[in-house]
Amino acid sequence: MEEIRRIQLTGGSTYIVSLPKRWVEDLGLDKGSRVLIYRDGKNLCIQPLSEEEASQRRILIEVSSETTPESLVRKVVSAYLVGYNVIQVRNPERRIATTQRYAIKDLIRKKLLGIELLSDLPQELTLQVLVGHGELSVKDALRRMSVIAASMHRDAIAALMSDDPELAREVIEMDDEVDRFGLYIIRLLKMAVSDGRVLREIGLSSPRECLGYRLITKSIERMADHAANIAQNSLMMTPMNLSRELLGEIKAMSDSALRVFEDAIEALFKWDYASADRVFEKAEETRQMEARVVQKVIKHAPIEDVPTLRLIIESIRRTAEYGSDIAEIVLNLTIGEEIRD
């Protein structure tokens, strides 16, 4: 809906503009209601000021004995992502099933950041988000997420080099921590797109950045998934059957791929177009290394280990590719500062 209104001058020093009556009524406002007026670039924005109501934005999810735990988990995640701060899960007829209750508690523990179980009653669970927008910004969460993902990759390769199954299992478990930060960032970005105050509180300057950060978050999640895949695949073989030379080649390719990823992340936080542009050359080096390593695997690895090693090498290459994807997004975000009109 759009309307054109003229700005009026009153009292010789104050400009005013009238609001359509139906808009005011639809938003539940009235005479004396407070609104927030702020400038977003070349736009002037007017927003109802109801911080107490927003902080307690709540949703009720009703379940029955037929509701599967998987379906319930999806509903809770969706409510979390779109910005609800209080999520009530209720069965109006009987006790919440044990499988449903366990699924929610496991979700909170493994996947959702900043949310706690406030009440655990027979027929109702109440979850509340306790982390405010400004307490952990998108950039801080993304930094932590990328550090964990890079650590997962290093440890996965170390587990392969040293034939350490315990370390490999630790890497697989760390994937949940990356997912927690990923879902938290998506929640903030979804809220920021429609709320200028949230946008500023989470450390971004314009809604345009939200899409870029959303894509970067997805790339980091996928990079962590491939680190977990490397660890999982290392459990399916006996690395000690491989020559030290071949393991060294895999390690060298891994180091190259990880440099691509970490340099792309650093270019993002430096907001540096030139640094992001250099990432692509390093990514090409990793791709060239892949062909050489694959040939050595085919020639020197035990035949039963070749398929698994090919999957490990592919995951290493994908790490570099996700670094390239991040660098490309940084180029798009910073091009305005690189090329002046």
CATH number for the domain harbouring residue 31? 2.10.260
* Residues 84 and 212 placed together within one structural domain of the fold: no
List all residues 6 or more positions away from 3 whose beta carbon is below 8 Å from its beta carbon: 20
In a domain, 332, yes or no: yes
The reported pLDDT for the residue numbered 38 is: 63
Reported as a single tens digit per residue, the pLDDT across 285-323 is 999 999 999 999 998 888 999 999 999 999 999 999 999
Instruction: Indicate the Cα dihedral angle 104, 110, 114, 118, nearest 10°.
Output: 30
Structural domains in the chain (count): 3
For 126-170, write each residue's pLDDT tens digit.
999 988 777 788 999 999 999 999 999 999 999 999 989 999 999
- Residue 1, token pair as written in the block: 């809906």
Last residue of a domain, one of 110, 129, 148: 129
CA distance 315 to 312: 5
Read off the pTM.
0.82
**Co-location of 152 and 238 in the same domain:** yes
What pLDDT is recorded for position 193?
Answer: 84
A 10 A CB-CB count for 127 gives: 26
Residues 233 and 266 in one domain: yes
Same-domain pairing of 234 and 106: no
> Is residue 114 a contact partner of residue 179, using CB atoms and an 8 Å limit?
no
* Domain co-membership, 116 together with 146: no
Q: Are both 148 and 88 inside the same structural domain?
A: no
Return the percentage of the chain with pLDDT > 70, whole number. 92
Name the residue among 226, 230, 221 with its Cα closest to residue 250.
230
* Residues 42, 81 within the same domain: no
Average pLDDT score, the chain = 89
CATH number of residue 95's parent domain: 3.30.110
Same-domain pairing of 70 and 29: no
| Rg (the chain; Cα; Å) | 25
19 domain residue, yes or no: yes
Work out the percent of the chain whose per-residue pLDDT is above 90: 67
Query: Long-range contacts made by residues 114-122, C-beta under 8 angstroms, separation at least 24?
Result: 114/184, 115/80, 115/87, 122/95, 122/96
**Region 257-274: what's the mean pLDDT?**
96
Q: Indicate which CATH number applies to the domain containing 310.
A: 1.20.58.220
- 40, 122: one domain: no
**Pairwise CA distance, residues 152 & 221, whole Å:** 11
The residue range of the domain holding 16 is 8-50
Q: Is residue 1 in some structural domain?
A: no
* 30 has pLDDT over 80: no
Distance set, CA 83 to CA 67, 161, 187, 293 (Å): 23, 43, 6, 46
Q: Is 2 within a domain?
A: no
State in Å, rounded, how far the first CA of the chain is from the last one. 33
Dihedral sign (CA 320, 324, 326, 330): positive
The residue-averaged pLDDT of 64-77 equals 96
Q: What is the widest separation between alpha-carbon atoms in the chain? A: 88
- For residue 43, is pLDDT > 80? no
Residue 3 lies in a domain: no
Is the CA virtual torsion 277, 324, 296, 240 positive or negative? positive
